[in-house]
Amino acid sequence: MQYIRSSNISISRAKNQQINSSNNQEYFRKGNNIMYDQFYIIELAKALLKRYKAFLAGIDRKLPMMPSGTLQVWDSGNTIRYYHNTMQDGKRTRVPIDIAWQGAGQIISNLTAKAVLKKARKPLEKNIDALESFLSEFQPYDPVARVGNLKKSYNVVEIKKLRDLSMIFMPGDIDPEVWKKEKYKKNPFHQERLKFATKAGEKVRSKSEAFIYDELTARGAEFRYECELELVKKNAAGCAVMQKVVYPDFMILREEDRRVIIHEHFGKMDDPEYSSAAMRKMDDYIAAGYHVGTDLFISWETLDTPFTSAGAIGAVEKYI
């Protein structure tokens, strides 16, 4: 078994929170996941702040070691001359730089870099201040957490059954309570192949899928098995140029950022016909805007490299 490792960051895709069983396909078309976007901005700001500070510290180390003075270029129209201007004993000294000299490129490069780096300090410092201010003030809007922080009377079981909180979710967010309860269309094809029982009692199509199903269940993940999903590819004008219904092996709603993750397991990758079909399916996902290692994860096996329960643990850990 092998699996694709996760990349660091990416913007996820789920549609909006106003859903019901009749518009399930629309709900999962690729859009922006507002919760993931908020966390993404924070992590991006932290990473950028770290890089700015490191670069500024590097400037402070380099500047004292760079040649004193400045570069002057004199253009007479017919001839360009270069000078290295310095101050000695309060007097300005101008030394010509012969471009035929072996060290001319180095001194010109150093003086130019010095001028740029000296001017770079101020905007870098302003950016560092802005990022630090942002990180201290920015608070992700999480309606689930805000509901949980209300008084107990707002969260008793009877109240939860009656309330509809769709209005508190921003477009691009998912109400996990609705997602858990919502009925969804499952793969209607070849149901006779659902022969392998999971620990939860549901039948799946292979022993490997049972390993994944059981691992997701053990972690308390909210997921759907073989849920109907419409893939849509749009051109630059926003017109759909591809629409295809697929049934991903697993569709997982990640708790911390409410991002919808697709996990496909390909079980016979040493079969040429099967592997070709698997690659076409991957192409369809990518064309519809999914990214391997961010919101699309793949595990696979061959006869020589069978998938195991340990493999399921390793695969699931990549996105949960």
Name the average pLDDT for the chain: 87
pLDDT > 90 in the chain, percent: 71
Confidence of residue 32 (pLDDT cuts 50, 70, 90): low
Q: Name 157's Cβ contacts closer than 8 Å, sequence gap at least 6.
A: none
Does pLDDT of 313 surpass 50?
Answer: yes
pLDDT tens for each residue of 216-226: 999 999 999 99
Confidence of residue 15 (pLDDT cuts 50, 70, 90): very low
Beta strand ranges found along the chain (DSSP E): 2-3, 70-75, 80-88, 91-97, 196-197, 203-204, 222-225, 229-234, 240-246, 250-253, 260-266, 296-300
Domain that holds residue 92: 48-137
Cα(183)–Cα(187) distance, rounded to whole angstroms?
Answer: 13
- Asked whether residue 289 is assigned to any structural domain, the reply reads yes
Q: What is the pLDDT of residue 300?
A: 96
Does pLDDT of 50 surpass 80?
Answer: yes
Residues 193, 305, single domain; the answer is yes
CB distance 165 to 148 below 8 Å: no
Confidence of residue 153 (pLDDT cuts 50, 70, 90): confident
Q: What is the pLDDT of residue 234?
A: 80
Cα(16)–Cα(312) distance, rounded to whole angstroms?
Answer: 30
pTM of the model: 0.72
Q: What is the pLDDT of residue 5?
A: 32
Residues 7, 127, single domain; the answer is no
Residue finishing a domain among 106, 137, 168:
137
Residues 28, 85, single domain; the answer is no
Element (H, E) at 236: none
Q: What is the pLDDT of residue 17?
A: 33
Residues 120, 16, single domain; the answer is no
Which tokens is 115 given?
A: 């001028």
Residues 73, 24, single domain; the answer is no
- Asked whether residue 100 is assigned to any structural domain, the reply reads yes
Residues 225, 104, single domain; the answer is no
Residues 97, 127, single domain; the answer is yes
pLDDT > 70 in the chain, percent: 90
Q: What is the pLDDT of residue 1?
A: 38
Q: What is the pLDDT of residue 158?
A: 75
Residues 258, 288, single domain; the answer is yes
pLDDT tens for each residue of 57-98: 999 999 999 999 999 999 888 888 999 999 888 888 999 999
Beta strand ranges found along 131-221 (DSSP E): 196-197, 203-204
Residues 91, 195, single domain; the answer is no
Mean pLDDT, to the nearest integer, of 137-154?
A: 91
Tally of structural domains, the chain? 2
Mean pLDDT, to the nearest integer, of 301-311?
A: 96
